Amino acid sequence: MDLAKKEILFPERTKEVQLAASRKGTKVRQDRSALKKAIKKGSMDPVEALRIEEPYFLGMRTCDFIKSLPRVGKVGAKKIMVELNINDKRRIRGMGSIQRKQLTEYLSSKY
């Protein structure tokens, strides 16, 4: 690959652009962490959390969301995901309507 093509594919990022991207990423991680803590403590209903349409939540892995439930760890999350036929790499945004409905019903019955 010659240098001209490389510059077109990967444009130089200014310090301001890098700083803005870094701040945005930090904000997303903080928001996800706050949401997971609220669910784990029980101060937020997990069914209500599934209705959030914010990008920070929609980009979260479904497995991480399930692990944030009270009394659910890695093994429990894996069992739930197998039971609901959800791939462990699936993000909230990528769940199908049937998967989302099944997860909502599961959460409604347990929490």
19 domain-assigned:
yes
Query: 8 in a domain, yes or no?
Result: no
pLDDT tens-digit readout, 52-90: 999 999 999 999 999 999 999 999 999 999 999 999 999
Q: How far apart are CA 80 and CA 57, in angstroms?
A: 19
Range of the structural domain that residue 72 is part of? 14-110
The domain total for the chain is 1
Give a yes or no: residue 2 inside a domain. no
Q: What is the CATH number of the domain that holds 86?
A: 1.10.8.50
For position 8, what pLDDT does the model report?
A: 66
Query: Domain for residue 93, yes or no?
Result: yes
Mean pLDDT of the chain: 91
Inter-CA distances, 81 with 40, 66, 86, 87, 95, Å: 18, 8, 5, 7, 12
- The reported pLDDT for the residue numbered 98 is 94
- Residue 50 inside a domain? The answer is yes
Q: Report whether pLDDT(13) > 70.
A: yes
Across 22-46, average pLDDT: 96
Q: What pTM value is reported for the model?
A: 0.83
Surface-to-core class of residue 15, CB atoms within 10 Å of its CB (0-12 exposed, 13-18 middle, 19+ buried): exposed
